[in-house]
Amino acid sequence: MVDSESHPRRRGRPRKVSSGDARKAIADAASAEFAQKGYDAASIRGIARRAEVDSALVHHYFESKAGLFAEVVRLPVRPDRIVRSAFDAPDDRLGESLVRTVLTAWERTAVRSIGVTVLRSAVSDSDAGRLIRQFLMRELKGSIAGRVEKSGVAPAEADLRATLVLTQMAGALIIRHVLELEPLASLSVGELTARLSPSVQGHLDGVGEGGRDGESGGSASG
């Protein structure tokens, strides 16, 4: 934690506040901004304006919009970071890396507990649900799509593949940890990883791409 009082700031917008106060003011402003505009439309600039601080200070404390969101909804973990930590794997092991990383994270009680709440909220019809949905979709889909693009896949196709990966992962987490359906709920991380990896790898590789089975076009890009 950096003490802002040791960095005298220019007069003007930023009020004279302790670092704790500024941090809290930013978090409060973010909470209001997210609630009013939703995750996608909320901006660091708008949050800074609301908190009457400089945008740079927001970045300083919270790094990114995702970080701010995680703070505001008190996420004990950063789903976007967990997913990204799997990205070092080579292309042909990326599915396994993603599945194992996510399943392993969910073995921690704190992650599972908040994860179940987040999944329930995301599926619900509430404003909070919409917010969480936007956060997860933007951050998780976006980062997976970015990783797929790095393998030389066109953006629209990468976007679709990332979405398909989310269908398999979200479904597995819901069945295992929300519905707790056996025998899947009791499977070890290793066994479930082996079962889910081929499916996730197939989505990453674009298996089934171009298949239309006699149906007319439709665009794969949003």
Tokens 């996510």 correspond to what residue? Answer: 102
> Is the CB of 14 or the CB of 202 nearer to a second copy?
202
CA-to-CA dists, residue 155 to 80, 148, 150, 204, 216, angstroms: 19, 9, 10, 13, 22
Binding site for a second copy (CB under 8 A): 100, 119-120, 122-125, 133, 137, 141, 156, 159-160, 163-164, 166-172, 174-176, 178-179, 181-184, 186-191, 193-199, 202-203, 207-222
Nearest distance in Å: CB 63, a second copy: 25
Nearest distance in Å: CB 193, a second copy: 6
> Is the CB of 14 or the CB of 142 nearer to a second copy?
142
Respond yes or no on whether the N-terminal peptide bond of residue 79 is cis (omega within 30° of 0): no
> Is the CB of 50 or the CB of 177 nearer to a second copy?
177
As given in the structure block, the two tokens for residue 101 are 């990383």
Nearest distance in Å: CB 200, a second copy: 8
> Is the CB of 32 or the CB of 170 nearer to a second copy?
170
Nearest distance in Å: CB 71, a second copy: 23
Nearest distance in Å: CB 25, a second copy: 32
DSSP labels, 67-104? HHHHHHTT-SS-HHHHHHTTTTS-GGGHHHHHHHHHHH
Orientation of helix 65-72 relative to helix 44-51, angle to 10°: 60
Distant-in-sequence contacts of 42-45, Cβ < 8 A, 24+ apart = 44/68
> Is the CB of 26 or the CB of 204 nearer to a second copy?
204
